[in-house]
Amino acid sequence: MLEDGCTVVGSKKTTENRMNLLKINRIDRKWWEIILWWEIRRIPYNIIMYFIGLLSFYICFVTIPLVYLVIGLFLNILYTLGWVVELIYINRQKNEIKKLNYPKYGFIIYLVLSILFVLGIAVFLLLR
């Protein structure tokens, strides 16, 4: 291992301390750490959904982009339920595995369902 926290593998230098988007450092997080975890991940979520929205926009040739603003607002309100559920229900559980897995899997499942929802609307409008 080198001084900068990197390891040399073969002829390539790799970083062991990479930032993992879905990493959770502790099980016993405070309420503000839970909210911060979800809100930091809202940024890449919205960037991904922006490009999915553009893709669906071109699939169905929508002339009223207001529809996408309403959908984006709706999906962001639902996204907030991720940390609300974690604070109210998951954080009070005794099961440590559930506490560690809920945010990771909740984020991934919500992202996939959001993508399917937006693309599904595009296909519906295309076939209409």
User: Tens digits of per-residue pLDDT, 64-80?
Assistant: 778 888 999 999 999 99
Answer whether residue 97 shows pLDDT above 70: yes
Q: Does 3 map to a domain? A: no
In a domain, 56, yes or no: yes
Residue 116 falls inside a structural domain: yes
Indicate whether 13 belongs to any domain.
no
Q: Higher confidence at residue 7 or residue 31?
A: 31
CA torsion through residues 73, 31, 87, 28, sign: positive
> Residue 39: inside a domain, yes or no?
yes
Domain holding 100, by residue range, is: 22-127
Each residue's pLDDT tens digit, 8-33: 445 554 544 555 888 888 888 999 99
Q: How far apart are CA 100 and CA 26, in angstroms?
A: 8
Q: Count structural domains, the chain.
A: 1
Any domain includes 8 = no
